[in-house]
A and B are shown apart, each in its own frame.
Chain A
Amino acid sequence: MFFKITLIFIFLFQISCANKNEKSYQDLYALRILLETATKAKPNPVATCQSGMIAMQNCAATAPEFSSFTLTETIFIGSITFNKFLTYSDYCNETVKNDPYRTMSDSLKECYLKCDFSYWETRKKLNICNVSYKTMFEGSFSDSGTSNCRRSCVLPTNNTP
């Protein structure tokens, strides 16, 4: 942690010096990227996946398929994986190792999973979780916001804020 903070201060100092010396825009760009990287936490796709599953469960709880009973982690994950998994932890640990995430870096996995999390969170906020779970789940693949979010994950430029 101490090393990281020191590194950030070094970069901030360099940016300040670079601005004063009218340094090349390319040097400023490089410092910005290094600073962004240094300030970013280590990616944890499993934790993001678990957050996404919780968001999904919260939204799905009002879907016609699950609204008649109290939806728990075990029931929800069991029902959507045909009882292959009983905890989000197990499910997520397995999911991030398989397609389509298999060839992705941890950072990209986390970004993609954040897009899913955002999809379910947005539905919940907009109060549009009372349609069938199947419709909502399929919607996560065709939703333009989620597609843009995923595209933004993999594009080096022109990203969605």
Chain B
Amino acid sequence: MKSITTYKRNWFLFLFILLTLSSEISAVAFRGRLFSRVKNQGEAGLTVVIVTPTSKIPAQTDAEGYFDAEVPSLGNYTFRILRTTGIQELEKSITADGEVVTIYTDKTPKPKGGIDVEGQKDKTILSRYKVRYDEIKRMPGTLGEALNALQTLPGVFAPPPFAGNNGGCFGGIVIRGADCRTNTYLYDDLPIYYAYHFDGINSVIHNDLIKTIDIYTGAYPANFNNATGGVVEIESNEAAKKATGSFNMSFLLGQAMYQTPLFNGKGYLAAGGKVGYLDKTLGSTGLVPDGIRLPQYNSSNVKFIYNFNSQHQMSFTSLTALDGFVLKAPGGFGSNDPTKEPLAAVAGASVSAGQGYRTMALRYTWTPSTKFSNRITLINYEPFNNTNVQFGSIQATFRASAPYTGVRQDLVWNPASFLKIDAGTEGRVINYNITGFSVRLKDPNNQSPNPYDLTNPAFEKADITQQTKSNYFNAYTTFHFTFGNFKFEPGIRHDYIDYGKQGATGPRATISYKVDGFLKGTTFFGGAGDYARFPYFDQAISRESGNPNIQFEKARKYGGGIDQQITEEWSVKGELFKQEFTSQIVNDPYISEAYGLNPDKYQRLQRPVVTNRALNYSNSGTGWSHGYELYIKKANRPNSKDWFGWISYTWSQSFRNNNIYNADYDPNKNRILSGDEQRLRALYPNSRETIFDYDITQLLSVVYGWRLTEEYQIGGRWFYRTATPYTPVIGDDGGQFKNPYNNQIYWNPRYSTNPYSTDYTNSRRQAPYHRFDIRIDKFLSYEWGYVNLYLEIINMYVRKNINGESFSTTAPYSKRNPEPQNDFFTLQLPSGMLIPFFNVGMEVRF
């Protein structure tokens, strides 16, 4: 006991030391541009020194006159421009984090009606967190994936695979208690279907092509759409001073990147790719059961930019990803002991599944003056899923895709010094296609179908080929009013789907006020808005098997808080939030239209029309989440040897209610009702509000990174979270079926149907999840570049984190079945010894 106490105390001491090693600070990142009005172009190759009260920050302009820098806080700064002819000093205010500031280096009488400068969209302070690539690239516990670092920010976590009651959330993140499927991921404002490959570890974007990542966890601006959760906005590089490349190999995957300036600096090309080979590395260790081929995947990102001149720019972007997984379980036993065969429950099964997407975009940007810019993007996007299953009498082979082609326009205009306007429109032709066969129960009243019965199968193949076409339009505008330290940003957007004649209008606004005087400045902010999401790639919208009247899912988000700059480097941000979810799409066995075409294609000849045609899905679901967040950050200067880190803490609650009638809870459930009576009864839902699948009460992350010397860098990350809720197994069905491939009896788990029972849906949690990860980097510098060798140790103190329960269908319910499901990051050797998960890798940069 004493040793455990000492052990824990040592860890706390270590964390404390990590956090207090330094007291230097910084905070506001911005992009500047030196622009000559005389030449009507950016000033390239100049050194700019930003003079702060305590330091001088140097920066270099690129071919277009841009430079990136960080200042300690928002405010007025002197920009010292070093020229061969002498020094020029100019004053300019930095008013927002992430702002693009244009500094005019000369004065030319403006033509009448001419306009002043300014770059791109203002970014809100409310519910937005920004991470720089250099801060997250080498973050421990991310397995080299910059995107994984999002999980250290307030209100954000990645649920364990298979958690929840809807098949899990592979590679998704949960933001402030919203469903992980309701986020939007954007790469340079272009859609990506999913952020992570099948393994849930590696992202679909090459690390070195990421410049910054902004995550909007609450009320987000009007230019983003289709998210009732959050928005992840990844920005890529737009220029390179010289040709560079990198090659990175680790246990999990290989990735390569090359970027180069073209056409004397007028053009830029970047290409990156990844190939996962877990099937070749981990798959060849013998630790994976025969018959399982671990996920194979690849992804690519290509970007080409050409600047005709300072006013006209064209760019082309291509993003692809493809993931596949295969399982072919042997038909018999190797060990003659079904309970020791890992695939005994699914013997004879054959499954192959895949998903992918392709995004291609051609973009033209017109910047006739520094006060106006307009962007037109032609987008072709196709997400798809492939499913191929054969298991007993269950057979399904189909491909589903939801391609669209669209044109989008976004403009930014500065009509006055106190006002900036963003506005945009978009039109898309969208499709929802399924080709192939699925499986369906022969008798819908059969509560316990036997999947193994091949003589009189309980399931049959059903042709589900279908095509649903529609047009989609949207328009948005945001006004950014700035009066001194006061900012007011009202916005509105409207989305319209002509397929179901559904529209959603979303007004929103944020307000902020900065008070100077206390430390380095205090900003008060708040905002609210209505947000909508339409499930374009979902069976719910299908004319054939879904509900063509389905409406947008909606969320109303509120938030407010304080951002305090303590010193130039330290800042604290606290925020309260609430989200109300309405019109959530749920499976609804009662909703129907008065009559319609028989959904069963095989029966259409005999019975072409049915009454009360099932729509299967409705917008009955509701829910809410609320909580508060605290974010303490210590920043450093990019590429400095200073340390950086942050602590983020979130307390939240999230609940859901499907608002569906469930006969199991009906006090008169023993009375069999007619269809008419059931429909009437279903108008009065009796489902209970339950804790949401991905509800976690407490979430704490501590992040630390320090470049010790030219040769070494270390980083540490500790995080703690409440376990996700789960529904306990309370028994089995008595083992009614037998798998003919191996004569294995199949025990179906049983769950509580009593909403007032302590065993009901999501009523239990395992012990909290916490772990400590470290990463050590060694850099070997050469004339042509450098080699970065790294070792990452995940779960240093070998905690046996438990994700939930695992019920083996090859054995009856007992004290040992179900058993706790351990986390992936604890490895157990055959001797029973536990070791931490580790990753070694090498990056070559030239």
- Which A residues are closer than 8 A to B by beta carbons? 22, 24-26, 29-30, 32-34, 36-37, 40, 103-105, 107-108, 110-111, 151-161
Whose C-beta in chain A lies nearest to the C-beta of B598?
A158
What chain B residues lie within 8 Å of A110 (beta carbons)? 674
Which one of B72-80, B166-174, B606-614, B789-797 is at the A interface? Answer: B606-614
Complexed CA–CA distance, A34 and B677 (Å):
11
Contact flags (1/0) for B656-677 with A, using CB distance below 8 Å? 0000000000000011111111
Q: Is there an interface contact between A157 and B609, defined as CB atoms closer than 8 Å?
A: no
Which one of B551, B591, B592, B672 has the greatest number of beta carbons of chain A within 10 Å? B672
Complexed CA–CA distance, A111 and B610 (Å):
17
A36 to chain B, nearest CB (A): 7
Q: Is there an interface contact between A107 and B614, defined as CB atoms closer than 8 Å?
A: no
Whose C-beta in chain B lies nearest to the C-beta of A158?
B610
Q: Is there an interface contact between A156 and B595, defined as CB atoms closer than 8 Å?
A: no
What chain B residues lie within 8 Å of A26 (beta carbons)? 591, 618-620
Q: Is there an interface contact between A103 and B672, defined as CB atoms closer than 8 Å?
A: yes
Asked whether A154 and B590 contact (CB < 8 A) given A33-B680, A105-B671, the answer is no
Complexed CA–CA distance, A108 and B674 (Å):
4
Q: Is there an interface contact between A107 and B674, defined as CB atoms closer than 8 Å?
A: yes
What chain B residues lie within 8 Å of A33 (beta carbons)? 679-680, 683
Q: Is there an interface contact between A108 and B672, defined as CB atoms closer than 8 Å?
A: yes
Q: Is there an interface contact between A154 and B619, defined as CB atoms closer than 8 Å?
A: no
Q: Is there an interface contact between B680 and A37, defined as CB atoms closer than 8 Å?
A: yes
Q: Is there an interface contact between A158 and B612, defined as CB atoms closer than 8 Å?
A: yes
**A-B CB contact pairs (8 Å), 29 listed:** A25-B547, A25-B551, A30-B683, A34-B680, A34-B683, A36-B679, A37-B680, A103-B670, A104-B672, A105-B671, A105-B672, A105-B673, A105-B674, A108-B674, A108-B677, A111-B676, A152-B675, A153-B674, A156-B590, A157-B590, A157-B592, A157-B675, A158-B598, A158-B599, A158-B600, A158-B610, A159-B675, A161-B610, A161-B611
Complexed CA–CA distance, A152 and B609 (Å):
13
Q: Is there an interface contact between B683 and A156, defined as CB atoms closer than 8 Å?
A: no
B589 CB-CB contact with A under 8 Å: yes
Q: Is there an interface contact between A29 and B673, defined as CB atoms closer than 8 Å?
A: no
A136 to chain B, nearest CB (A): 22
Whose C-beta in chain A lies nearest to the C-beta of B444?
A155
Complexed CA–CA distance, A33 and B676 (Å):
8
Beyond contacts A22-B501, A36-B679, A154-B674: 18 other A-B pairs, Cβ-Cβ < 8 A, are: A24-B551, A25-B551, A26-B619, A33-B683, A37-B680, A40-B676, A105-B674, A108-B674, A110-B674, A155-B444, A156-B590, A156-B682, A157-B592, A158-B592, A158-B598, A158-B612, A158-B613, A160-B611
Q: Is there an interface contact between B612 and A159, defined as CB atoms closer than 8 Å?
A: yes
What chain B residues lie within 8 Å of A29 (beta carbons)? 591-593
B549 CB-CB contact with A under 8 Å: yes
Complexed CA–CA distance, A108 and B671 (Å):
10
Complexed CA–CA distance, A157 and B683 (Å):
14
The interface size of chain B toward A, counting residues with CB under 8 Å, comes to: 39
B628 to chain A, nearest CB (A): 34
Q: Is there an interface contact between B675 and A156, defined as CB atoms closer than 8 Å?
A: yes
Q: Is there an interface contact between B445 and A154, defined as CB atoms closer than 8 Å?
A: yes
B466 CB-CB contact with A under 8 Å: no
The secondary-structure label for the interface of chain A is helix
B678 CB-CB contact with A under 8 Å: yes
B594 CB-CB contact with A under 8 Å: yes
Q: Is there an interface contact between A154 and B679, defined as CB atoms closer than 8 Å?
A: no
Q: Is there an interface contact between A156 and B670, defined as CB atoms closer than 8 Å?
A: no
Asked whether A157 and B612 contact (CB < 8 A) given A24-B551, A26-B620, A37-B680, the answer is yes
Whose C-beta in chain A lies nearest to the C-beta of B443?
A151
Whose C-beta in chain A lies nearest to the C-beta of B500?
A25
A125 to chain B, nearest CB (A): 18
Q: Is there an interface contact between B674 and A36, defined as CB atoms closer than 8 Å?
A: no
Q: Is there an interface contact between B674 and A111, defined as CB atoms closer than 8 Å?
A: yes
Complexed CA–CA distance, A155 and B599 (Å):
15
Complexed CA–CA distance, A153 and B683 (Å):
18
Interface residues of B in 802-835 (CB under 8 A from A): none
Across the interface, B677 reaches (CB within 8 A) one of A103, A107, A151, A157, namely A107
Q: Is there an interface contact between A154 and B589, defined as CB atoms closer than 8 Å?
A: no
What chain A residues lie within 8 Å of B677 (beta carbons)? 105, 107-108
A102 to chain B, nearest CB (A): 10
Q: Is there an interface contact between A151 and B445, defined as CB atoms closer than 8 Å?
A: yes
Complexed CA–CA distance, A29 and B617 (Å):
13
What chain B residues lie within 8 Å of A155 (beta carbons)? 444-445, 675
Whose C-beta in chain A lies nearest to the C-beta of B503?
A22
Whose C-beta in chain A lies nearest to the C-beta of B609?
A161
Complexed CA–CA distance, A107 and B595 (Å):
21
Which one of A32, A103, A108, A151 has the greatest number of beta carbons of chain B within 10 Å? A108
Whose C-beta in chain B lies nearest to the C-beta of A148?
B607
Across the interface, B607 reaches (CB within 8 A) one of A24, A36, A40, A160, namely A160
Complexed CA–CA distance, A104 and B668 (Å):
11
Which one of B589, B594, B612 has the greatest number of beta carbons of chain A within 10 Å? B612
A118 to chain B, nearest CB (A): 15
B599 to chain A, nearest CB (A): 7
Q: Is there an interface contact between B614 and A157, defined as CB atoms closer than 8 Å?
A: yes
Complexed CA–CA distance, A84 and B672 (Å):
28
Whose C-beta in chain A lies nearest to the C-beta of B677?
A107
Q: Is there an interface contact between B676 and A107, defined as CB atoms closer than 8 Å?
A: yes
Q: Is there an interface contact between B445 and A156, defined as CB atoms closer than 8 Å?
A: no
Interface residues of B in 667-702 (CB under 8 A from A): 670-680, 682-683
Interface residues of B in 572-627 (CB under 8 A from A): 589-595, 598-600, 607, 609-614, 618-620
Complexed CA–CA distance, A37 and B614 (Å):
18
Whose C-beta in chain B lies nearest to the C-beta of A108?
B674
Complexed CA–CA distance, A160 and B613 (Å):
10
What chain A residues lie within 8 Å of B551 (beta carbons)? 24-25
Q: Is there an interface contact between A157 and B613, defined as CB atoms closer than 8 Å?
A: yes
What chain B residues lie within 8 Å of A158 (beta carbons)? 592, 598-600, 610, 612-614
Complexed CA–CA distance, A104 and B674 (Å):
8
What chain B residues lie within 8 Å of A37 (beta carbons)? 676, 680
Complexed CA–CA distance, A13 and B599 (Å):
31
Q: Is there an interface contact between B672 and A159, defined as CB atoms closer than 8 Å?
A: no
Q: Is there an interface contact between B549 and A156, defined as CB atoms closer than 8 Å?
A: no
Complexed CA–CA distance, A104 and B672 (Å):
5
Q: Is there an interface contact between B675 and A153, defined as CB atoms closer than 8 Å?
A: yes
What chain A residues lie within 8 Å of B683 (beta carbons)? 30, 33-34
Complexed CA–CA distance, A37 and B610 (Å):
19
What chain B residues lie within 8 Å of A30 (beta carbons)? 683
Complexed CA–CA distance, A32 and B679 (Å):
10
What chain B residues lie within 8 Å of A156 (beta carbons)? 589-590, 592, 612, 675, 678-679, 682
The 8 residue pairs across chains A and B that have the minimum distance between CB atoms: A157-B614, A108-B674, A25-B549, A107-B674, A156-B678, A158-B610, A157-B592, A159-B611
